[in-house]
Amino acid sequence: MMSSELLNTIMEAILYFLFNPVWLVTLLAAVLLGYVRVKRERKDFKTRVLAGLTEMKHALSSAWIHGLLLSVLIAGVGLIVDFNWIIIFSLVMLLVILSFSYKLASPIYYAAIAFFGLYAVGRWAGDFSINDWFVQEDLDFFGTLAITVPIIAGLFLITEGLLIRRYASRHASPVLIPTNRGMRAAIYKSKLLWIVPVVLLVPGHMVAEYAPYWPQFTLGAEKFSFVPIPLIIGFSQMARASFPDVLFPKVGTAVAWLGIAVAAIGVGAIWMPILGWAALIAGVLCRIFLSVLISVSERKKPLILVPQSEGVFVVTVLEDSPAEKMGIIPGDLIKSVNGITIHNEGELYDAIQVNAAHCRLQVIGRDGEVRLKQQVLYRHDHFRLGMLVVR
């Protein structure tokens, strides 16, 4: 009997998570991201770089371990939050996802808006409620919430940084833009969503008001409940003057360090509660400053991939292509093909046809070193070698 009840409880929790509107809208948004990206790539390069469902598959599969670690840490330390804070937190996430402005999809923004929004409602609209789903209680904004919310926000920021550091450059998509001289240069755009399944700890009586049969556990004299939510983290950034594999890991590292600072200040709120408020405000301001700083810095510097008088720049390399087997990477400058000096894309493809069975490239790498790349070509290999270049 007990095992049956436990199984039903687990199934209810899973269904609660899967039918959360934030989760469902995020999946649709990720599919749309892939559709827009493929459409743009086909317009610029006549082919797609990655499959259209790449963003959706990535959103679903890449952050489960992060969510598990976050949940264990939050529950293990006993970081309790208000259920109404979770409601506002989720609503803010939903609005950001629908806006498609994923520079705003940082958890520090969700957490701070939910905290100060809940405070504003309690301060100026204490009797406000929505069909018994949003009920104000006497919350201590200079007590538990001032400690737990900043610490959780800091942990979320650390997760954001780790995800950016690991994945943002892998899914950067090339974009062709016009230059001041009427040519077309290449930049990179990374726009991603991550679904991080997180379990938060709330006072048991708060959930019991909405779901009487929701599982609870007792710790001392208090009852608590676990509430699973999809934490949605977004990333949107252009790399114009730096390569994605150089720029985005630095961005991720900076965001992770910001998360460590926010969490550390949140811990200090145990002794001085006002530090919790300061941690959230500083976290929001620093995250905004970081985004603006990166964008401004990239725009002030010269573009990295522009047409050359001699040779062509490789923008990206398709998976499982001859170019990938040769070790060609974005940023390589191809000077000659099969002993023929090239000056544009058309000459590149013409030179490849000189030897239909073997391709030899003279390449200048990002470090300025000259290298010779060779590859045997087979009948099934496409003559373009699977690399996209600046036109």
CATH number of 373's domain: 2.30.42.10
In a domain, 307, yes or no: no
Q: Cβ–Cβ contacts within 10 Å for residue 128, how many?
A: 11
Closest CA to 104 of 220, 247, 233: 233
Alpha-carbon span 13 to 28, nearest angstrom: 22
Among 300, 335, 365, the domain boundary falls at 300
Strand partners, 362: 336, 372
pTM of the model: 0.87
* 133 and 263 assigned to the same domain: yes
* Structure confidence at residue 7 (pLDDT): 54
In a domain, 12, yes or no: yes
* 278 and 347 assigned to the same domain: no
* Structure confidence at residue 213 (pLDDT): 46
* 238 and 352 assigned to the same domain: no
* 290 and 368 assigned to the same domain: no
* Structure confidence at residue 312 (pLDDT): 86
In a domain, 99, yes or no: yes
In a domain, 305, yes or no: no
- Report helix, strand or coil for 224: strand
Domain that holds residue 109: 2-300
* 151 and 245 assigned to the same domain: yes
Task: Please say whether the beta carbons of 162 and 84 come within 8 A.
Answer: no
How many distinct helices (H) and strands (E) make up the chain?
A: 12, 10
Q: What one-character DSSP code corresponds to residue 331?
A: T
* 330 and 291 assigned to the same domain: no
Distances from the Cα of 32 to the Cαs of 62, 82, 97, 99, 289, in angstroms? 18, 33, 12, 13, 29
Among 241, 269, 300, the domain boundary falls at 300
Alpha-carbon span 32 to 52, nearest angstrom: 9
Distances from the Cα of 139 to the Cαs of 142, 153, 192, in angstroms? 9, 19, 36
Q: Which residues of 349-372 are buried (b: 16+ CB within 10 A; e: fewer)?
A: eebbeeeeeebbbbbbeeeeeeee
* 295 and 317 assigned to the same domain: no
In a domain, 73, yes or no: yes
How many domains does the chain contain in total? Answer: 2
* 210 and 180 assigned to the same domain: yes
Alpha-carbon span 248 to 253, nearest angstrom: 9
* Structure confidence at residue 14 (pLDDT): 60
Token code pair at residue 122: 């309690």
Alpha-carbon span 324 to 328, nearest angstrom: 6
* 335 and 222 assigned to the same domain: no
Among 300, 320, 346, the domain boundary falls at 300
pLDDT in tens, the chain (391 residues): 445 544 555 555 565 666 678 888 999 999 999 999 999 999 988 888 888 899 999 998 899 999 999 988 988 888 888 888 888 999 999 999 999 899 999 999 999 999 998 888 777 665 555 555 444 556 667 778 889 999 999 999 999 999 999 999 988 999 998 887 777 888 999 999 999 999 888 875 555 455 544 555 555 556 667 788 899 999 999 999 999 999 999 999 999 999 999 999 999 999 998 999 999 999 999 999 999 999 999 999 988 888 887 888 888 888 888 888 888 889 888 888 888 888 888 888 788 777 666 778 888 888 888 888 777 665 544 446 778 888 6
The type of residue at 8 is N
Strand partners, 235: 192
**Strands 173-178 and 340-341, sheet pairing:** unpaired
In a domain, 306, yes or no: no
Task: Please say whether the beta carbons of 174 and 388 come within 8 A.
Answer: yes
In a domain, 158, yes or no: yes
* 169 and 316 assigned to the same domain: no
* 293 and 336 assigned to the same domain: no
- Report helix, strand or coil for 32: helix
* 293 and 346 assigned to the same domain: no
Alpha-carbon span 361 to 345, nearest angstrom: 14
The type of residue at 197 is P
In a domain, 325, yes or no: yes
